[in-house]
């Protein structure tokens, strides 16, 4: 059998994940080499804290190593890159929750006006003007679907997995969000 290094150009990411599931370290290294720069950029778009990004990257690839056998791939309508992003996005949300939990002041000390969430800060930095204002006025459940599908480029299935919603709900919310955006921008 030829090594992964010799056939790296011939293997797609899905095949690399399948080899990782069998414990192939060379396939894991190749998957990391191909996907880590892209993943880091996407995470940095959502989080400016380099320490959190580094932790999420480490947790993501550890999860990939451990759970590669659970990847369903094209058989379930997904892609290896989409699966990887779903893991990373969930780890990022977990990191935000941990940070918020540890930084939570006593209830009596909570100020009346709360600072915007990290997601809101990322959104403000990414989308400005009338479009950004219209997007921020959307209901949170509509905005998170639109962000995942439009800003992050996830499919309906990947958004469904990321948000833990049925695909039909994702489609409905995406449609409602687009209608609301059209009204706001008209």
Give the domain CATH number at 147.
1.10.10.10
Of the CA atoms within 13 Å of residue 185, those in its CB half-sphere come to 15
Here the CATH number for the domain that contains residue 32 is: 1.10.1740.10
pLDDT given for residue 118 in this prediction = 46
Same domain for 27 and 85, yes or no, is yes
Same domain for 50 and 93, yes or no, is yes
Judge whether 111 lies within some domain: no
Same domain for 93 and 36, yes or no, is yes
Domain stops at, among 103, 131, 161: 103
> Would you say residue 42 has pLDDT above 70?
yes
Judge whether 63 lies within some domain: yes
Q: What distances in angstroms separate CA 35 from CA 28, 42, 103, 147, 148, one per listed residue?
A: 10, 11, 32, 21, 19
Judge whether 42 lies within some domain: yes
pLDDT given for residue 76 in this prediction = 66
Same domain for 146 and 96, yes or no, is no
> Would you say residue 91 has pLDDT above 80?
yes
pLDDT grade, residue 99 (50/70/90)?
confident
CA 118 to chain centre: 14
Distance CA 3, CA 6 (A): 6
> Percent of the chain, pLDDT > 70?
77
Stretch 70-96: mean pLDDT: 84
Judge whether 43 lies within some domain: yes
Domain stops at, among 57, 73, 103: 103
Low-confidence winner among 27-41, 81-95, 114-128, 141-155 (lowest mean pLDDT) = 114-128
Domain stops at, among 79, 103, 127: 103
Distance CA 167, CA 130 (A): 29
Distance CA 123, CA 11 (A): 35
Same domain for 70 and 150, yes or no, is no
pLDDT grade, residue 31 (50/70/90)?
very high
Residue 29 gets which letter from DSSP?
H
Same domain for 91 and 142, yes or no, is no
Same domain for 80 and 165, yes or no, is no
Same domain for 43 and 94, yes or no, is yes
Same domain for 19 and 90, yes or no, is yes
Domain count, the chain: 2
pLDDT grade, residue 153 (50/70/90)?
confident
Same domain for 133 and 161, yes or no, is yes
Range(s) of the domain holding residue 19: 9-103
């Amino acid at each position: 059998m030829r090594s992964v290094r010799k056939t790296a150009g011939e293997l797609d990411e899905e095949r690399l994940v399948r080899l990782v599931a069998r414990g192939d370290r060379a396939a894991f290294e190749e998957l990391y080499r191909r996907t880590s720069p892209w993943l880091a950029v996407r995470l940095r778009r959502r989080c400016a804290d380099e320490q959190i990004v580094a932790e999420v990257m480490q947790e993501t690839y550890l999860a990939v190593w451990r759970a590669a056998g659970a990847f369903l791939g094209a058989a379930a309508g997904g892609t290896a890159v989409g699966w990887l992003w779903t893991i990373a996005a969930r780890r990022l949300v977990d990191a935000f929750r941990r940070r918020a939990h540890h930084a939570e002041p006593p209830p009596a000390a909570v100020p009346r006006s709360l600072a915007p969430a990290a997601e809101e800060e990322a959104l403000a930095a990414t989308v400005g003007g009338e479009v950004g204002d219209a997007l921020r006025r959307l209901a949170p459940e509509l905005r998170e679907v639109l962000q995942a599908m439009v800003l992050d480029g996830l499919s309906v299935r990947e958004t469904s997995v990321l948000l833990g919603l049925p695909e039909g709900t994702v489609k409905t919310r995406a449609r409602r969000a687009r209608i609301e955006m059209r009204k706001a921008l008209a």
